[in-house]
Amino acid sequence: MSNPLLDTSGLPNFDAIKPQHALPALQELIAAHRQKLADILAQPDAHDCASLITPMEEMSHELSRVWSPIGHLQSVLDDPAWRDAYNESLPLLTEHGTELSQNNELQKAYSQVSDNLPADADPALRALIEQELRDFRLAGVALPEAQKTRYRELAQEIAAIQATFEQNIQDATDHWHYQTVAGDAVTGLPASVRQRASADAKSNNVEGWWFKLDYPTYHAVMTHGENRELRETFYRAWSTRASDQAADLQWDNSEIIERIMSLRHEIAEIVGFDNYAAYSLATKMAGSANEVTEFLTELADKSRQTAKIELEQLTTFTGRSLQPWDFSFYMEKLKQDRFATSDEELKLYFPFATVKQGIFGVAEQLYGISVVENTNVSTWHENVKYFEISNANNELVGSFYTDLFARNGKRGGAWMDECVVRKDIAGTDTRPVGYLVCNFPPPDESGASFLTHTDVVTLFHEFGHMLHHLLTRITYPSISGINGVPWDAVELPSQFMENFAWCYDVLEKCSAHQDSGKSMPREVFDNLQASRNFGEALAMLRQIELALFDFRLHANYDPEKGANALPILNAVRAEVALIRHPDFNRLPHSFSHIFAGGYAAGYYSYKWAEVLAADAFAAFEETSIFDRATATRFREEILEIGGSRDFMDAYIAFRGRKPTLDALLRQSGIGKAA
Ligand SMILES: [Zn+2]
């Protein structure tokens, strides 16, 4: 029987794809690609675009199409067989990737094409080749064989151990529960959370409430739980996940952190960098470690005074000294008191279905596209939906799946991932497809799910990534959509979109009150808007704390001394943070962005790109938020270009100048309160 993963003629056939297809599909495809590559390199004539770039792009596109469902399904399905299949297949993918980027013959072929490019060659093609040549260097193509071999071993182990890091967090989270019969445990909690906890107690044949550690529950307890002990219990459980301080030690990530850091340092040194931070910057907008640290320090300095005032106001309001498990709770109380706005009341305005239509409406208004659901598509779960985006002339641009509600076994957080990357070379035109995944509260008994305003912002964020992936005009897959975009610019389109979730004209269309069906009244919005800045400076310091920790961890690594994650974190906290954390706090152990994801020595990217996003949005504020000319310029200069040009040049083409910190500081109300 044929392997459904290898059928790349249309969308993945999720009904037919099973874990046992993963490894054989990958083996077969990689073997075929090796043969094809050998044939390409054996050609007697000099290489040109048609003989080299086109087939190489075709192969990498095909491989990513086959791999995409494997990576995706293991993160959204509660199925150990998928995880095994993923873990078993990942080494093949890593090995093949390194083999390609260390192939001297292949590198020479790219150089040859580069040398022979005519002066008027497509700039996108030129950018692609430059990027490939850079990646050959970064994989140590020119090194002696022994070092290349060591590089390959390291790359293998890094990929595998990062996956284990993430899986440990997921298992630690999924296996935790807290059961209680104490009536006051649920005081203040939203009805949906109480209902879920009560239903879970019943299905576990116990009395009272059975709480899980999924993000919606954790967030609700920290924000609304009147019971301080319950908040402390959740804080402890959350901040010690997968650590030596957790109740269950079988998912402890301590050793894994040490190993990851040591492997990363070694791989960076092999290819000629002092440390992994320097290696990470080789592919980013930021020019040097100094530039990153100075950027973060400047932001911290500018935010500190306002943050101190915020903290003082909060302490005065509560009249007590605050523990880390008190902040969200009292922040919420203070917002209710001062701005007459409450998370739970706002939530009644945001039924998921209305929010979704509102978001699609924003994209339609900005870019003249339309988003329509298609129900005739195979998916992996009953809650999954599929949408198609078309241009004004009805031409299909791309499409995406949504999988938005929390469930056991699904990786936490929210993200956008590629299913199919845009490709239009050698006469075949493939439209891009993406996955949009969130962990919103699951629909209640009536089938409705209500989102907090924070959830609404998250959905705008991920949809921003999706538009970046789908609206690309670049047709070479390796630099199309988000590919080839420097990592510290990738969060620009997403954080840019968040701004629309703070505009009345937009929220009016995203809202329909649970009881009246009416959209959000102006005065409710005004209160929300007024509350936006409160706590922003503290939140800014928190992000800078994470970013500096990540960067110093990688920049200062010393093989003699080990990772030193906790001492470095404590030093950064002493320097930047205003909120003290208890000694048992183990933030690094569940910091998957940097230990499992692509943000290693790159977490600063969020702040870096947020500066760009705020500055870009200011261009809309200077005209109007739906100004077509500005939107078209943003689409053409930023969203569509993928990795085809220098990002700062592109930004200047959109904005007419370099970005400044001003818009972000203004937007965050920093300096105002002082
Ligand atoms: Zn993002």
Q: List, in order, residues 6 or more apart from 523 with CB less than 8 Å away.
A: none
- Of the candidates 428, 484, 648, 654, which has an alpha carbon nearest to the alpha carbon of residue 126? 484
> Domain 4-101+103-138 carries which CATH code?
1.20.1050.40
Amino acid at 548: L
Q: How much is the mean pLDDT over the chain?
A: 95
3-class DSSP state of 400 = strand
Q: Which two tokens stand for residue 324?
A: 């880390």
Specify which residues 562 forms β-bridges with.
558
What would the mean pLDDT of 279-295 be, rounded to a whole number?
95
- Is the pLDDT assigned to residue 635 strictly greater than 60? yes
| pLDDT per position as a tens digit, 53-84 | 999 999 999 999 999 999 999 999 978 999 99
Q: Which two tokens stand for residue 434?
A: 């993406």
How confident is the model at residue 10, as a pLDDT?
Answer: 93
- Of the candidates 57, 81, 59, which has an alpha carbon nearest to the alpha carbon of residue 70? 81
Where are the extended beta strands (E) located within 525-592? none
Torsion-angle region of 194 (φ positive above 0: left; ψ -120 to 50: alpha; else: beta) = alpha
- For residue 438, the CA-to-ligand 1 centroid distance in Å is 12
How confident is the model at residue 192, as a pLDDT?
Answer: 86
CA atoms within 13 A on the CB side of 255: 7
| pLDDT per position as a tens digit, 224-233 | 999 999 999 9
- For residue 317, the CA-to-ligand 1 centroid distance in Å is 34
Active-site residue, selected from the candidate residues 132, 157, 388, 462:
462
Torsion-angle region of 162 (φ positive above 0: left; ψ -120 to 50: alpha; else: beta) = alpha
Supply φ then ψ for residue 192, to 5 degrees: -60, -35
| pLDDT per position as a tens digit, 304-355 | 999 999 999 999 999 988 999 999 999 999 988 998 888 888 999 999 999 9
> pLDDT-derived band of residue 674, with 50, 70 and 90 as boundaries?
very low
- For residue 465, the CA-to-ligand 1 centroid distance in Å is 7
How confident is the model at residue 446, as a pLDDT?
Answer: 83
3-class DSSP state of 385 = strand
For residue 532, count CB atoms less than 10 angstroms from its CB and return exposed for 0-12, middle for 13-18, buried for 19 or more. Answer: middle
Tally the residues of the chain.
674
Give whole-number Cα distances, 250 to 86, 171, 241, 381, in Å. Answer: 21, 10, 11, 30
3-class DSSP state of 205 = coil
What would the mean pLDDT of 593-604 be, rounded to a whole number?
94
| pLDDT per position as a tens digit, 196-212 | 999 999 999 999 999 99
- Is the pLDDT assigned to residue 558 strictly greater than 90? yes
3-class DSSP state of 367 = helix
Torsion-angle region of 517 (φ positive above 0: left; ψ -120 to 50: alpha; else: beta) = left
57 belongs to the catalytic site: no
- Is the pLDDT assigned to residue 94 strictly greater than 80? yes
What would the mean pLDDT of 41-52 be, rounded to a whole number?
91
What would the mean pLDDT of 642-647 be, rounded to a whole number?
96
- For residue 539, the CA-to-ligand 1 centroid distance in Å is 17
- Is the pLDDT assigned to residue 1 strictly greater than 70? no
- For residue 493, the CA-to-ligand 1 centroid distance in Å is 9
Q: How many whole angstroms from its chain centre is CA 582? A: 28
- Is the pLDDT assigned to residue 673 strictly greater than 80? no
Q: Would you list the DSSP string of 105-134? A: HHHHHHHHHHHT--TT--HHHHHHHHHHHH
Using DSSP bridges, classify how beta strands 433-440 and 396-405 pair: parallel, antiparallel or unpaired: parallel
Task: Please give the model's pTM, rounded to 2 decimal places.
Answer: 0.92
Neighbours of 224 (CB within 10 A): 21
How confident is the model at residue 58, as a pLDDT?
Answer: 96
How confident is the model at residue 459, as a pLDDT?
Answer: 98
- For residue 555, the CA-to-ligand 1 centroid distance in Å is 24
Torsion-angle region of 567 (φ positive above 0: left; ψ -120 to 50: alpha; else: beta) = alpha
Q: Where in the chain is the domain with CATH 1.20.1050.40?
A: 4-101+103-138
Supply φ then ψ for residue 211, to 5 degrees: -95, 140
- Is the pLDDT assigned to residue 130 strictly greater than 70? yes
Supply φ then ψ for residue 180, to 5 degrees: -150, 150
- For residue 491, the CA-to-ligand 1 centroid distance in Å is 5
> pLDDT-derived band of residue 554, with 50, 70 and 90 as boundaries?
very high
- For residue 261, the CA-to-ligand 1 centroid distance in Å is 24
- For residue 463, the CA-to-ligand 1 centroid distance in Å is 9
- Is the pLDDT assigned to residue 672 strictly greater than 70? no
| pLDDT per position as a tens digit, 29-40 | 999 999 999 999
CA atoms within 13 A on the CB side of 620: 19
